[in-house]
Amino acid sequence: MQIINYNKKYCKQIVELFTNTIHKVCIKDYTKEQLKAWANPNIDYKAWEERLNKTKPYLAIADDKLVGFTEFYDNYIDCFYVHHEYQGKGVGKMLINNILKIAKQKEQTFLKVDASITAKPFFEKFGFKEVKKNIVKRTNVELVNFNMQRVED
Percentage of residues in the chain with pLDDT exceeding 90?
Answer: 93
Task: Summarize pLDDT for 18-31 with one digit per residue, the tens.
Answer: 999 999 999 999 99
**Class in CATH terms, 2-107:** alpha beta
The yes-or-no verdict on residue 113 having pLDDT over 70 is yes
Query: Dmax over Cα atoms in the chain, in whole Å?
Result: 44
pLDDT in tens, 72-84: 998 999 999 999 9
How would residue 51 be classed by pLDDT, with cut points 50, 70 and 90?
Answer: very high
How high is the pLDDT of residue 41?
A: 86
The residues, any chain, with a CB within 8 Å of residue 3's CB and separated by 6 or more, are: 58, 59, 60, 61, 94, 95, 98
Please tell me the pTM assigned to this model: 0.93
- Residue 152 has a pLDDT of 81
Strand 141-151 with 110-116, pairing: antiparallel
Domain residue ranges in the chain? 2-107
Task: With a cut of 80, say whether residue 153 has pLDDT above it.
Answer: no
CB neighbourhood size of 83 (10 A): 22
Measured distance CA(113)–CA(130) in Å, rounded: 10
Residues 6+ apart with CB under 8 A from 58: 3, 4, 5, 6, 69, 70, 71, 72, 95, 98, 99
